[in-house]
Amino acid sequence: MYTLDWKHKAQKQLAKIGDRIARAEIYEAAQVLCDFPNITQVKKLTNNKYQYRLRIGRYRLFFDVAESVRIVMIEEVKKRDDRTY
């Protein structure tokens, strides 16, 4: 099992998320990362400065793994809608 190490930038990004439900989902998904090799929906990234990505709704959690799981960044993805085309 790994321990979680939240970078300061990731903590600030999590605090800025206005939707309480989304913030709680991200935090709960991050807690699951303690059991890292045995989880689904994690993608190993290539040609990127971060090692892994986890999708949580419309947010992406980027992290690296060494002795602990280091959560580096949270990014919101803008999806297409009716006005895209």
Please write the tens of the pLDDT for every residue from 27-46. 998 888 888 777 878 889 89
Checking if the pLDDT of 72 tops 90, the result is no
Domain residue extents for the chain: 4-76
DSSP string for residues in 17-70 = ---HHHHHHHHHHHHHGGGGGG-SSEEE-SSSSSSEEEEETTEEEEEEESSSEE
Average model confidence (pLDDT) across the chain = 85
Checking if the pLDDT of 74 tops 70, the result is yes
* CATH code for the part of the protein at 4-76: 3.30.2310.20
The structure's pTM equals 0.82
Mean pLDDT throughout 50-60? 89
Strand pairing report for 4-6 and 69-76: parallel
Q: Say how far apart CA 2 and CA 39 lie, in whole Å.
A: 13
